[in-house]
Structure 1
Amino acid sequence: MNISSNFDQNISRFHEILDVQKNFDIVYHTLTIADKKACLYFIDGFTKDEILLRLMQDFASVKPDSFPSSAHDFAKQYVHYGETTVETDDKNIFTQLLSGLSCLLIDGYDRAILIDCRTYPARGVSEPEKDKVLRGSRDGFVETMIFNTALIRRRIRDVNLTVEIMQTGESSHTDIAICYMKRRVDEDLLNKIKDRIENLHVDALTMNQESLAECIFPHKWFNPFPKFRFSERPDTAAASILEGNIVILVDNSPACMILPSSVFDIIEEADDYYFPPVTGTYLRLSRMTVSFLTLFLTPVWLLFMQNQNWIPGWLEFIKLADDMYVPLIFQLLILEFAIDGLRLAAVNTPSMLTTPLSVIAGIVLGEYSVKSGWFNSETMLYMAFVTIANYSQASFEMGYALKFMRVILLILTSLLNVWGFILGTAIAVCSIVFNRTIAGKSYIYPLIPFSWPEIKKRFLRGRLPHAEKSQR
């Protein structure tokens, strides 16, 4: 329904739909502008008071003999603010008003004037807790999307950088920003993503990026390996955009979604590029090796314990030194779940109690657990390595995917011995090999399809692009 030129009718409709008598934070202010009745609507807490005060002063200077004949002319002459639009569709007006814009209705005009003088509560752009680096930028994304796009614009001062805004969610009308570089992005993938977002029929994106990811790429739920890369670092997002990737920002979320992403993209970290090529290569290869050991260390050890005649002489020390009272498979599975329980407890523990909890956990899962007979010291050692190694992986999703594959390997190895180990390894390999990115390409490119130049880039950190150009 469109705005009417009848002021009283518009006010009655706005009051009824917005229910201003019950919603204390929806504020309306009636005023007179050059003998014309007017009303200003805004959301308390979303509006800059100093801007509204300046606008009121400007309205007081309007003379009856120079009153504009249209809302567009009035906004042009008397609303001295950069972000001003004129709208007639009340559905769009209500959406913009509830997003934080101020709405001005004037008697005789069949259009509303929307003034974007909003400000959102936001924390500082400090370094994110999860994506820390040893060297490099110390800023990070926040929950306010406009701040996040500004952090990217600060790093890419190019007219080809495009930031498109979209909305989805019948109730939430969540803002989504799609960032990409013209002439570098995959146009087919870009159009596919935009079409999927436009055709979403959801009530709200309650879980931000995760809700959006599951809507635009409803992949098979039983494959745990992540299809998207998430980052809270604007430098990582900017680098991905320059490489031709698409970055999606969702309002109210302090992380961006990078796509398409292969397994090698997800394993990468910013530290790989903040150090010289040799150091960056070492860090990358170390992370890959640790991830491999995270998956296979405990299953291989369990396989050797079930077939001790296979252990060569130089590995005799891996055998159990003490008597075993609980089967190894149960020891390993109990520790797998106990460690996750401790991790969840640490997340929900107040910071002042974190140290006491760590001490108690160290005692319970340390010497006392071994002395009680529940666990052998070798089991505790290998599971401690696996737990620490999981934190070398920046992606939580990848860490849990490796954990699920490890548990499957352990169970199959305990049941079927060597054939179970082979079957579990095949399941893990197939879960990766037959996975696909959102673009429909191989999850393990450049291994499949094979590309030697790209393999060298993935495993060996070469010179940065700007350094190569400077030598030419």
Structure 2
Amino acid sequence: MVEKNTKKLSGSFEENIRYMNEILPVKESFDIIRREIMIGGKASVFYYIDGFIKDEAMLKIMDSFLSVSEEDMPEDAEMFIQKHVPYVEVEILEDFDQVIRNVLSGPACLFIDGYKECIALDCRTYPARGVDEPDKDKSLRGSRDGFVETIVFNTALMRRRIRDPQLVMEMMEAGQSSRTDIAVCYMKDRVDQELLQNLKKRIETLELNDLRMNQQSLAEALFKRKWFNPFPKFKYTERPDTAAACLFEGKVVILVDNSPSAMILPTSIFDMIEEANDYYFPTVTGMYLKITRTLITVATVFFTPLYLLFMQNIEWLPEVFQFVAVRDTVNIPLVFQFIILELSIDGLRLAAMNTPTMLSTPLSVIAGIVMGEFSVQSGWFNSEVMLYMAFVAVANYTQPNFELGYALKFMRLLLLILTACFNLYGFIIGCILVLCFLAFNKTLSGRNYLNVKRN
């Protein structure tokens, strides 16, 4: 693990430059720039990363520095900043850990002979895409912007919506090598202080070398969940309006640099099935959408296991529903048909993700024909099984939360296997297990997954 360098800057300019040249691979890395100039007759050195610096801003700053005469040079760095630095974001650094972190993060660091401090000029810019609406988290009405991979842009998107001095965005970092920036955002007058302190303490005490997968690595480190419980501990959103609404509710929003989504906590199963459309429509319409989504979500878990249970006990089927019974020859047991189709649907989804856009539509049509008609005619699947699995596959897309969708899928597979093995008792045991997975799934706040307090 890389340890922080707490060595203080020396009063010797040559010693500071020698140490910086030893720590930074200036000669080996083409993008780490060491620029020597004369400011007011004194030797000075810039260190910065090529690609992180705004060229126009640096040209104006250096032009201002080159015009400084020897008589105008102050005795200390603070006076130099006040008189000769025509820029807003300037900081004085006093130890090498701050200097190295700033250089590698983007700001330019300036050493001037005779000054024992380093001057950091934050004229950086990060490569970023436009704040377009997320592909997954769409809304029929409302804003069309979304989070991007640059943390400063993301905080600005929320600041634009919440112009309240109670909104606090604390910058932290995790990972000794990656030193990934993490913004903890909350409304000071509404947040659960116990939860906030617990969260900040966990982030500060993280013993990680790096956040390899950014947000996911942080989530796993903050709350080490049991591997057998697939239900997510955090709610994720790529919409700044959703994140702002959660802040007003007293929740905590965590932004991780290089990740285009926000983590929201505390959360519950009821928060997971919410989406922006529930709030952009009148109350009656929003409630209807929420209830419909909830019913469909429940149906995706229990629909196929219930059908399998009744097919195993055909005498339980009421007369009015006799038409749903399987009439064709069953060449493969129904439970295996359901499991094969579950795997096939995931395979098609993975294939669609890696298919070029121009080929996605024709290949989807071909896959639909082959999976639909020919698989039934060949005797692999029964038409009733295909119909119900088609409903489940389409209904899964009503669930806005990707992680919750797969958790419900695993619950459905568990119910199918237990029902096939133990009939009615297996179905009942499966239902109890599903409830246990939900009831005993604790969030970071320590509250029950089914009953998270709202402020």
> Corresponding residue for 2:168?
162
Q: Which runs of no fewer than 5 residues in structure 2 stay unpaired?
A: 1-6
Q: Summarize deviations over 1:39-60 as a string: whole Å, max 9, x none.
A: 1111111000011111111112
> Equivalent residues in 2 for 1:141-180 (5 A)?
141-180=147-186
Confirm or deny: 8 A CA contact 1:4 1:109 kept in the other structure. Answer: no
Which residue of 110, 130, 134 corresponds with 2:136?
130
SS of equivalent residue, structure 1 residue 390: helix
1:364 aligns with 2:370: yes
| RMSD between superposed Cα atoms in Å | 1.2
Which residue of 192, 207, 212 corresponds with 1:206?
212
> Corresponding residue for 1:255?
261
Amino acid at match of 2:262: C
> Equivalent residues in 2 for 1:378-417 (5 A)?
378-417=384-423
Amino acid at match of 2:296: V
CA distance in 2, matches of 1:28, 1:252: 26
> Corresponding residue for 2:58?
52
> Equivalent residues in 2 for 1:44-83 (5 A)?
44-83=50-89
Which residue of 91, 98, 104 corresponds with 1:85?
91
Q: CA deviation at 1:352?
A: 1.7
1:418 aligns with 2:424: yes
Which residue of 98, 111, 119 corresponds with 2:104?
98
Runs of 4+ in 1 over 4 A off after TM superposition: none
Amino acid at match of 1:10: N
> Corresponding residue for 1:227?
233
Q: CA deviation at 1:359?
A: 1.7
> Equivalent residues in 2 for 1:321-360 (5 A)?
321-360=327-366
Q: Summarize deviations over 1:383-427 as a string: whole Å, max 9, x none.
A: 000011111000011111110000000001001000000011110
CA distance in 1, matches of 2:62, 2:439: 64
Q: Summarize deviations over 1:73-116 as a string: whole Å, max 9, x none.
A: 11221111111001021111101110001010111111110000
Q: CA deviation at 1:353?
A: 1.7
SS of equivalent residue, structure 1 residue 366: helix
CA distance in 1, matches of 2:406, 2:25: 46
CA distance in 2, matches of 1:145, 1:357: 37
Confirm or deny: 8 A CA contact 1:101 1:118 kept in the other structure. Answer: yes
CA distance in 1, matches of 2:186, 2:109: 32
Q: CA deviation at 1:6?
A: 2.1
Q: CA deviation at 1:248?
A: 0.3
CA distance in 2, matches of 1:73, 1:356: 68
Q: CA deviation at 1:347?
A: 1.0
CA distance in 1, matches of 2:24, 2:358: 43
SS of equivalent residue, structure 1 residue 248: strand
SS of equivalent residue, structure 1 residue 295: helix
1:8 aligns with 2:14: yes
CA distance in 1, matches of 2:82, 2:380: 78
> Equivalent residues in 2 for 1:313-328 (5 A)?
313-328=319-334
SS of equivalent residue, structure 2 residue 29: coil
Structure-2-length-normalised TM-score: 0.97
Q: CA deviation at 1:360?
A: 2.1
CA distance in 2, matches of 1:186, 1:250: 21
> Equivalent residues in 2 for 1:291-330 (5 A)?
291-330=297-336
Confirm or deny: 8 A CA contact 1:390 1:399 kept in the other structure. Answer: yes
> Equivalent residues in 2 for 1:235-246 (5 A)?
235-246=241-252
CA distance in 2, matches of 1:357, 1:244: 46
CA distance in 2, matches of 1:437, 1:264: 13
Q: CA deviation at 1:319?
A: 0.7
SS of equivalent residue, structure 1 residue 155: coil
Q: Which runs of no fewer than 5 residues in structure 1 stay unpaired?
A: 458-472
Q: CA deviation at 1:125?
A: 0.4
SS of equivalent residue, structure 1 residue 12: helix
CA distance in 1, matches of 2:170, 2:70: 41
Q: CA deviation at 1:312?
A: 0.8
CA distance in 2, matches of 1:287, 1:68: 67
Q: CA deviation at 1:180?
A: 0.4
Percent identity over the alignment?
57
SS of equivalent residue, structure 1 residue 162: strand
Amino acid at match of 1:276: P
CA distance in 1, matches of 2:280, 2:440: 33
Query: Number of aligned pairs?
Result: 449
Confirm or deny: 8 A CA contact 1:5 1:110 kept in the other structure. Answer: yes
